[in-house]
Amino acid sequence: MNIKTVGIVGAGQMGNGIAHVMSLAGYDVMLNDISGDALAGAMATIDRNLERQVSREKISADDKSAALARIHTTQTLPDLGQTDLVIEAATERETIKQAIFEDLLPHLQPHTILTSNTSSISITRLASRTDRPEKFMGFHFMNPVPVMQLVELIRGIATDAETFDACAAVVEKLGKTAATAEDFPAFIVNRILMPMINEAVYTLYEGVGSVKSIDSSMRLGANHPMGPLELADFIGLDTCLAIMNVLHDGLADTKYRPCPLLTKYVEAGWLGRKSQRGFYDYRGETPVPTR
Residues known to be catalytic: 119, 140, 152, 190
**218 annotated to a ligand binding site:** no
Which one, of 13, 221, 6, lies nearest residue 119 by Cα? 13
Q: Say if residue 14 carries a ligand binding annotation.
A: yes
Q: Is 97 annotated as a binding residue?
A: yes
Q: Compute the distance between CA of residue 261 and CA of residue 267 in angstroms, rounded to an integer.
A: 10
Q: Is 36 annotated as a binding residue?
A: no
Is there a binding annotation on residue 284?
A: no
Closest CA to 201 of 177, 223, 175, 229: 229
**Cα–Cα distance measured from residue 72 to residue 176, given in angstroms and rounded to the nearest whole number:** 23
- Which residues have C-beta within 8 Å of that of residue 286, sequence separation ≥ 6? none
173 is in an annotated binding site: no
**Residue 11 is labelled as binding a ligand:** yes
* 35 known member of a binding site: no
Query: Is 16 part of any known ligand binding site?
Result: no
Is 61 annotated as belonging to a binding site?
A: no
What residues form the annotated binding site for NAD(+)?
10-15, 33, 92, 97, 119, 143, 274
What residues form the annotated binding site?
10-15, 33, 92, 97, 119, 143, 274
